[in-house]
Amino acid sequence: METGINQQQLIQMINNEEDLFNKLLKEAEKINSIIIDLEQTKKAIIEIEKNPKKMMISLGTGVTIEVEVKNNKCLRLMGENLFVSDSTEGTKKWIDEKKEKLEEQLKNLEKNIYSTQEKIKNLNGIMDQFEMKKRELVNLTKK
């Protein structure tokens, strides 16, 4: 009874690990993007606190609008059509807490990414051994 794996099973294992690796990378990119967005939001709040009069706000793709801040309340989206009103200080604190949680998630993801890279490296090493054994067998049969 054979308990080893064949080359096809090894190829499938490598493919599975590479798929997982790519999924983890995409998730890390998403988290990084959210962290950057939170940092930019906090910077904007700080700028509004410094100069609460008229200011230019970007609407995206090179379009801006002049606005005047009438109060220091921020609305945060907490779910579908559910907003919470909070002061700029409360919102900055919320941003810091959310960013801290995301950074922790990112740290764990990075560990998983590294671990998956190592598995892929090891599996590819085994695949190289398979290929070397195959070549040896082909050379033996030619003699």
pTM of the complete model? 0.78
pLDDT of residue 31: 97
Q: Name every residue whose Cβ is closer than 8 Å to that of residue 142 and which is 6 or more positions away in sequence.
A: none
Alpha helices in 51-87 (DSSP H): none
Q: CA-CA distance, 6 to 25, in Å (whole number)? A: 29
Model confidence pLDDT, tens digit, residues 80-138: 889 999 999 999 999 999 999 999 999 999 999 999 999 999 999 999 998 888 888 87
Contact 127, 7 (CB under 8 A): yes
Name residue, tokens 């049969």: 141
Percentage of the chain beyond pLDDT 90 is 57
pLDDT of residue 1: 44
pLDDT of residue 79: 85
The token pair at 49 is 């606190």
Domains annotated on the chain, with CATH: 14-123 (1.10.287.370)
Phi, psi of 71 (to 5 degrees): -150, 175
